[in-house]
């Protein structure tokens, strides 16, 4: 029941959250914007407050930028493919009648709760490591030469690590969606003579499409900012430098604040484009 009085009270109650997030968004972002137009390299004692768009120019035209964008794209697409495909399969599997379904769920969900540094290091050392990792034992067991995953297929390795972590997320979301499909729809299809595969293609998959879209958008937002896994495995070397990592290096490692800030703004713009799509879907859900 909204009266004048309660509206005023409501505004006061929302204020702290709005204020805090506003400051969080504006202040650092404006500072980054400011630095992006400056030439600021503290390690070399250089500070020139205004050099126009030069930072943006050098950032975007540098080969590392294009490589980084490419790397980011491959990484995100790779992880999305594995998690969506695997997620749908697992969701369908977990929806089948079986014994001990609760425990299987727990097994499949677990990787998501492991902190990224632990995942990355466990995979790096205990699986991928060319001398002592389990995969190399497997190769030796099969009579093959052990494969040095991290130096010969670094991007692939990182994709595996992150996909392992996010597969549970996709599975859980898609499983929720599968279970929300009313059994009556499927029963009607069965009565109409549709075999299992056709029921999947024409009924289950379209129903899942919305959940799949949500998973893709949300995962993309989070995947664009993958950091720890790269940090503790390759440190950006061997073609694993994503856009995020590139900016991080420019800012904190080579300390070219101006260039790094310009890169940061570019990353923000690109992320916003993805965000617009997600907000539309969530916004539609608000109306329902």
Partner 1 sequence: MARAISPRKKIMWTALAWGLGLLIFFPIMWTFLTSFKSEATAISDPPVWFFFDWTIENYSTVLERSNYPLALTNSIIIAVGSTILGILIAVPAAWAMAFVPGKHTKDVLLWMLSTKMLPAVGVLYPLVLLAKWLGVMDSRILLIVVLMLINLPIIVWMLYTYFREIPGEILEAARMDGASMKSEIFYVLTPMALPGIASTILLNIILAWNEAFWTILLTTVDAAPLTKFIASFSAPEGLFYAKLSAASVMAIAPILIMGWFSQKQLVRGLTFGAVK
Interacting residues with partner 1 between 135 and 154 (CB under 8 A): 137, 140-141
CB of 173 to partner 1, least distance (A): 5
State the number of CA atoms in the 13 A half-sphere of 195 facing the CB. 1
CB of 193 to partner 1, least distance (A): 17
In this chain, which of 78, 154, 236, 264 binds partner 1, going by CB under 8 A? 264
205 binds partner 1 (CB under 8 A): no
Give the nearer residue to partner 1 in terms of CB position, either 119 or 240: 119
In this chain, which of 28, 53, 152, 185 binds partner 1, going by CB under 8 A? 28
Task: Determine the Cα–Cα distance for residues 262 and 245; give it in Å rounded to an integer.
Answer: 14
Q: How far apart are the first and last CA of the chain?
A: 20
In this chain, which of 43, 45, 113, 193 binds partner 1, going by CB under 8 A? 113
CB of 59 to partner 1, least distance (A): 12
In this chain, which of 126, 144, 188, 237 binds partner 1, going by CB under 8 A? 126
Instruction: Give the chain's length.
Output: 288
133 Rama sector, left if φ>0, alpha if ψ -120 to 50, beta otherwise? beta
Q: How many residues bind partner 1 (CB under 8 A)?
A: 108
Burial class of residue 211, CB neighbours in 10 A (0-12, 13-18, 19+): buried
CB of 44 to partner 1, least distance (A): 16
109 binds partner 1 (CB under 8 A): yes
> 175: which 2 tokens?
């499983």
Task: Determine the Cα–Cα distance for residues 66 and 74; give it in Å rounded to an integer.
Answer: 12
206 binds partner 1 (CB under 8 A): no
83 binds partner 1 (CB under 8 A): no
Task: Determine the Cα–Cα distance for residues 251 and 23; give it in Å rounded to an integer.
Answer: 22
Q: Could you tell me how many helices (H) and strands (E) the chain has, helices first?
A: 14, 2
In this chain, which of 77, 107, 188, 205 binds partner 1, going by CB under 8 A? 107
Residue window 160-179: x/- pattern of binding to partner 1, with contact defined by CB under 8 A? ----x--xxx--xx--xx--
In this chain, which of 77, 134, 205, 237 binds partner 1, going by CB under 8 A? 134
E strand residue ranges, the chain: 39-41, 46-48
> 256: which 2 tokens?
């070219």
């Amino acid at each position: 029941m909204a009266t004048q009085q309660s509206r005023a009270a409501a505004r006061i109650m929302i204020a702290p959250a709005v204020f805090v997030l506003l400051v969080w968004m504006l202040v650092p972002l404006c500072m980054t914007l400011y630095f992006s137009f400056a030439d600021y390299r503290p390690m070399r004692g250089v500070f020139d407050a205004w050099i126009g768009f030069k930072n943006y120019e050098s950032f975007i035209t540098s080969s590392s930028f294009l490589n980084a964008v490419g790397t980011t794209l491959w990484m995100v697409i790779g992880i999305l493919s594995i998690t969506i495909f695997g997620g749908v399969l697992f969701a369908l599997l977990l929806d089948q009648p079986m014994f001990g379904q609760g425990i299987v769920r727990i097994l499949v969900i677990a990787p998501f709760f492991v902190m990224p540094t632990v995942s990355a290091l466990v995979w790096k050392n205990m699986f991928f490591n060319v001398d002592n990792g389990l995969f190399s034992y497997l190769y030796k067991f099969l009579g093959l030469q052990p494969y040095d995953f991290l130096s010969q297929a670094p991007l692939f390795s990182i994709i595996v690590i992150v996909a392992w972590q996010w597969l549970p997320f996709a599975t859980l979301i898609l499983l929720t969606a599968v279970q929300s499909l009313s059994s009556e729809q499927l029963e009607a299809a069965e009565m109409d003579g549709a075999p299992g595969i056709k029921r999947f293609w024409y009924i289950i998959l379209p129903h899942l499409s919305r959940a799949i879209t949500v998973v893709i958008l949300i995962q993309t937002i989070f995947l664009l900012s993958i950091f720890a896994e790269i940090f503790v495995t390759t440190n950006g070397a061997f073609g694993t430098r994503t856009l995020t990592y590139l900016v991080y290096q420019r800012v904190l490692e080579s300390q070219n604040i101006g260039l790094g800030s310009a890169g940061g703004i570019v990353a923000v713009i690109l992320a916003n484009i993805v965000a617009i799509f997600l907000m539309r879907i969530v916004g539609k859900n608000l109306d329902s």
